[in-house]
A and B are shown apart, each in its own frame.
Chain A
């Protein structure tokens, strides 16, 4: 379980950006989590409620945007979503592919009150 470490990091980033913008309160956080990046489960919200208490982010809502994996074939250009038993290009069988989406692990934005 590393949701606690992740939650602490989130709080630090959100508060820093809010302060840089002279905000008094953070009301929402927007997270972007790719399917191939870390697994984050609902316990993030649980930890969040505890560690944001007493901060300007108390009570803020966490919004998760989950991004599926998209691969793009470097040989034939096909874009596809891999399965748990197949990664190669389904059209031409190439192993030369690029990961287009699915590795995001970011705090994209926050909502604040001035």
Chain B
């Protein structure tokens, strides 16, 4: 049922009627749609119908025009966006975005803070050292996606929305570890200045470089550590912190793996370039001989269960490191970078289990 032009003509003739344009009301434009909610409510995938769901291979305008609206000529640009979809895209962005919204939690009220009891001094200090490290480094994964947002075109808005959820998650991570450090009689200790590997993430001039370094490598390692958190945790509160953070982190890693996969599928010529980024990042990031001593010692104490038990702690810490390297390799395989196995930094390569026989 279209708008009747005769009605508009009659309106135009009414006394005191301001000048009417109404072209927006009669312009044909993309078709009308009727998205319906599914099992998970009305999701982004539910509204990605026809042209509205068509994220173009190349974003060609520099304005805030939303995908599927009618372009107006003469509008000022708001930024220089990354034009190529393959440079920023991941097919799971919408899914992770919706999941992130469903799984938000509060560090104030969702952690059983009352379960924290006084700990032996050195264990409390070790927990606080780990928390100091984490409250220090977590938000690098908020600052870095943040600084990329201004380059994501509204034609590829799904990526921007996902990145925003990551910033929000990392805010909570910064916050929850700070809260833990200040909750049980100790305080913050030594920030590690773990900036060699992390500056690298902020320095990245390419989105895929940033994502591979941050999502796949750094957050991958953190994710494995969080998932091993039950061995670090001394009480229910800490277990819950690690569990909830791990859940968030798996979304971040998941985006990175799927982005890398998308790049390798759509721009296979970038394979060697990506290896170069990882060559340098692995070298800076976590070569065992370059390990961060405060964090390392704190892990031995917490995982061993005290200062006198560091042999057990060392064994568990080594198991964690191995798990980190193997899971990293597995993520690379899923992303389509299985050939990294033989050029990985030796410090990591040594930790790898032999590849599964095919």
Q: Do A and B bind each other?
A: no
